[in-house]
């Protein structure tokens, strides 16, 4: 979050304390075009339904339960980014263990480039979170 300087001529990155003291709420800049996964062309997928469905299909088709997995349910959260070139990369995986993380990374290497989001015709990076639940029997 950027804050106008005292001289009102420039901005600086606000510290968490400044932002809280001034009760500033961040605003999300709306995208003109949302990321487009191959096969989702022609949709302005504001809720990311098509991209989410395509990724879900990829995971269902390609995911192999690691041999080290124990019976039960494994819940993970995958934070990833589609950058301004359309490349997809993982920022963080929470939950599960290293073997599950390796499998998620293996599948992510199979994701094709995606048409990036843009604002005013300028490609921008967009962050996503994807919950993943695996039932191991």
DSSP-assigned states of every residue in 36-74: B-TT-TT---TT-HHHHHHHHHHHHHH----TTPPSEEE
pLDDT, one tens digit per residue, over 73-87 is 999 999 999 999 999
The structure's pTM equals 0.72
- Considering just the CA atoms, what is the radius of gyration of the chain in Å? 19
pLDDT, one tens digit per residue, over 2-37 is 666 777 777 777 677 776 676 655 556 678 888 888
């Amino acid at each position: 979050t950027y804050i106008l300087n005292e001289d009102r001529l420039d901005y600086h990155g606000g510290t968490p304390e400044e932002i809280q003291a001034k009760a500033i709420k961040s605003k999300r800049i709306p995208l003109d075009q949302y990321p487009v996964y191959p096969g989702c062309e022609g949709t302005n997928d504001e809720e990311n339904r098509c991209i989410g469905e395509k990724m879900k299909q990829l995971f269902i088709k390609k995911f192999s339960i690691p041999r080290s997995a124990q019976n039960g349910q494994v819940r993970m959260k995958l934070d990833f980014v589609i950058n301004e070139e359309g490349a997809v990369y993982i920022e963080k995986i929470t939950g599960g263990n290293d073997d599950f993380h390796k499998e998620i990374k293996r599948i992510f290497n199979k994701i094709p480039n995606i048409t990036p989001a843009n604002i005013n015709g300028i490609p921008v990076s967009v962050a996503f979170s994807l919950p993943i639940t695996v039932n191991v029997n």
